[in-house]
Amino acid sequence: MLQVLIATGLVLAISAAFAAVLLVAERYLVNYGPCKIDINDGTRELDVRGGDNLLMTLKGSGIFVPSACGGRGTCAYCKVRILDGGGPVGPTEAPLLTPEEIESNVRISCQCKVRNDLRIEIPESLLSVREYRGKVERIRDLTHDIKELRIKLVEPEKIKFVSGQYVQLEAPAYRDNPAPVFRAYSISSPPHMDDTIELIIRLVPGGICTTWVFELLKEGDDVKLTGPFGEFHLTDADSEMIWIAGGSGMAPFWSMIRQMQHDGAARPCRYFFGAVRRRDVFFLDEMRQLEQELEWFKFLPALSGPEQGAAWDGEIGLITEVVGRHVQGDGEREGYLCGSPGMIDASIEVLKAKGVSDDRIYFDKFA
Amino acid sequence: MILAQPATQIEPGSALNLMIILITATLTENMLLTRFLGMCPFLSISRQLKSAFGMGLAVVFVTTCTCFLNSLLYWHVLVPLEAYGVPAESLKLILFIVVIAAFVQFMEMAIERVSLGLYFSLGVFLPLITVNCAILGTSLFMINKSLAGLDALVYGFGAGLGWMIAIVLMAGIRQRLARARVPEALEGPGITLIVAGIMALAFIIFQGMIKL
């Protein structure tokens, strides 16, 4: 008995001694004291506690740099420029950066610790990224597997964004999902409706966030989202636009066309929308209505596998074939794409074959 | 087959004895290629020579220090306490793990604070090492061989050095393999394990040259 006690006591004593050493070390070695972060030449100054990585430190101060992997150093989305105080580029960052980026002080913010005062540069738009709380105002079925979510913003009450940008919706812990997760969805409401966010969400079987939206979320529920993020938006040019989308890739274009209508814009635009069957097409009546009102806008939905005998007077074939049939290889054009990676890659090929140059093709891939 | 047998008893702690310990630990009982310990980082971090070298350095550093610390703990704390009924044999495993984990954590913090350059070439590999069986194996073999003091220090250094030699060799081979036409099914870990096997065969030749 005594033997057991001595042995246990010994193990505990040695472990406790090491734990104490580590605690002391953490108190004095990892404590980098208060640090100042200067953002965009004094646009904002943060007083933070050093020791944590830059991504998390910024998040703690309400600046949300997009990150898909959550700070594990794999997605390379959280790039920022550190002008001063960043120290050498670490081995966990180097593989994610190009030589040009290293040259211009671009760093992976989740892999940079705040050890001293920093001077950093981030896209101006990120400073307007905030966390929003809202209430679900309406959930409606657009098709059998796509829902539209309308969220009324509560705090803050208004959001400023550009059509084509996305927000990250937070799915809370539920059932088998142990911790909140964030998923990105393009905003489908136009910017002029600045107290409301609409999202078009397609059910991903087994998806954490979509399952939550489809099975648990009800009208009147509170939701949290951060945003706006993203560089996908219309340019200032006035050449003809070719929009290509499939499924919930409708979202950014549904925002863009309504904003253009609101602004009284006029720019030639053909919108190709790909679906398999008739039941996968939505907003058909709304689009026909818009076509009536805006003589520069044309909506061309296409079915790749229509049901036998279904009433359908639109195009038939893969969306890429339909685009190939309609778009001529002449003149200045811009391509805007939103959909699955496969659809986007195929569409880029078609547009390039039609003489639209690489730098005039903009897309939002959701993987 | 034993090619060379020491003719006379060698004194513990003598220079010759330390030399034998070093060669044994590094070559004839190479931690990786004859014991197959520490395989996970060996397979995953041997893609580039530079990171393999960094990982190797980290292992050398940690085995040397933890082997010495553990020998102190075993011979000067656990063994004297055996008189009071403490089972040194059974406790060594759990205590060695505690020592290694604490030491690695501490060193990571200290290196990061003292030198960022060193941290980037060595420190980032340290957390990976906490769970490396080669480190624990070195300490346990050290006890099996009844090594203490300076002998233990040299044994730890030798074992780490052997591991480093093996991973650096492997990284060199894998960098060349990148341009070789490997059958599709064997790409990645498959061909690496085959290479490791061939290297192990080569190292097994050393066995029996010196016995510790």
Per-residue pLDDT, B112: 81
CB contact B91 to A (< 8 Å): yes
Give chain B's count of helices (H) and strands (E): 10, 0
Task: Residue A33: list chain B partners with CB under 8 A.
Answer: none
Lowest mean pLDDT among A62-66, A222-226, A269-273, A293-297: A62-66
| B8 pLDDT more than 70 | no
| A235 pLDDT more than 70 | yes
* Size of the A and B interface in Cβ pairs below 8 Å: 61
| A365 pLDDT more than 70 | no
With CA atoms as reference, report the closest residue to A101 among A80, A117, A122: A80
Name which of B85, B112, B116 is nearest A2 (Cβ-Cβ). B85
- The pair of three-digit structure tokens given for residue A342, joined into one six-digit string: 């496969």
Shortest CA gap A82–chain B (Å): 17
Which of A:75-114 have CB within 8 Å of B?
87-88, 90-92, 113
| Contacting residues for A84 by C-beta, under 8 A, at least 6 apart | A117, A118, A119
The residue of B97, B106, B118, B126 whose CB has the most chain A CBs within 10 angstroms, and thus the best one to mutate to test that interface, is: B106
CB contact A23 to B (< 8 Å): no
Give the residue-averaged pLDDT of A249-267: 92
Comparison of pLDDT for A143 and B112, the residue scoring more: A143
Per-residue pLDDT, B68: 93
Contact B166, B42 (CB under 8 A): yes
Q: What is the pLDDT of residues B127-144, one digit of tens each?
A: 777 667 889 999 999 998
In degrees, to the nearest 5, what angle opens at C-alpha B90 toward C-alphas B89 and B92? 70
Cα(A49)–Cα(A115) distance, integer angstroms: 9
At the top level of CATH, which class does the domain A240-365 belong to?
Answer: alpha beta
Give the residue-averaged pLDDT of B13-18: 79
Say if pTM beats, i.e. exceeds, 0.95: no
Name which of B51, B87, B98 is nearest A7 (Cβ-Cβ). B87
Q: What is the pLDDT of residues B72-116, one digit of tens each?
A: 999 998 888 888 877 888 888 889 999 999 988 888 888 888 777
- DSSP H or E segment with residue B169: helix B149-177
Per-residue pLDDT, A198: 94
Count Cβ atoms below 10 Å from residue B89 Cβ, excluding itself.
Answer: 11
SS3 A357: coil
Count Cβ atoms below 10 Å from residue B111 Cβ, excluding itself.
Answer: 22
The residue of A2, A22, A116 whose CB has the most chain B CBs within 10 angstroms, and thus the best one to mutate to test that interface, is: A22
Task: Residue B121: list chain A partners with CB under 8 A.
Answer: 91
The owner of tokens 């190709």 is A272
- DSSP H or E segment with residue A350: helix A341-353
A244 burial level (CB within 10 Å; 0-12, 13-18, 19+): buried
Indicate the CATH number for domain A34-126: 3.10.20.30
Shortest CA gap A324–chain B (Å): 37
Residue A38: pLDDT band with limits 50, 70, 90: very high
Q: What is the DSSP code (8-state) at residue A279?
A: G
Cα(B142)–Cα(B138) distance, integer angstroms: 6
Per-residue pLDDT, B9: 55
| Residue range(s) in chain A whose domain bears CATH number 3.10.20.30 | 34-126
8 Å CB contact of B99 and A29:
no
Task: Residue B112: list chain A partners with CB under 8 A.
Answer: 29-30, 113
Lowest mean pLDDT among A103-107, A138-142, A274-278, A304-308: A304-308
Task: Residue A20: list chain B partners with CB under 8 A.
Answer: none
8 Å CB contact of A26 and B109:
yes
Q: Compute and round to an integer the Cα radius of gyration of chain B.
A: 18
Residue of chain A whose alpha carbon sits nearest to that of B94: A11
| Residue range(s) in chain A whose domain bears CATH number 3.40.50.80 | 240-365
Contact B13, B120 (CB under 8 A): no
Residue type, A213: V
Which of B:153-212 have CB within 8 Å of A?
none
Give the residue-averaged pLDDT of A164-174: 89
Comparison of pLDDT for A261 and A177, the residue scoring more: A261
Q: What's the full length of chain B, in residues?
A: 212
Name which of B51, B98, B116 is nearest A18 (Cβ-Cβ). B98
Indicate the CATH number for domain A130-229: 2.40.30.10
| Contacting residues for B194 by C-beta, under 8 A, at least 6 apart | B186
Task: Residue A91: list chain B partners with CB under 8 A.
Answer: 51, 54, 120-121, 124
Q: Specify which residues A39 forms β-bridges with.
A: A44, A120
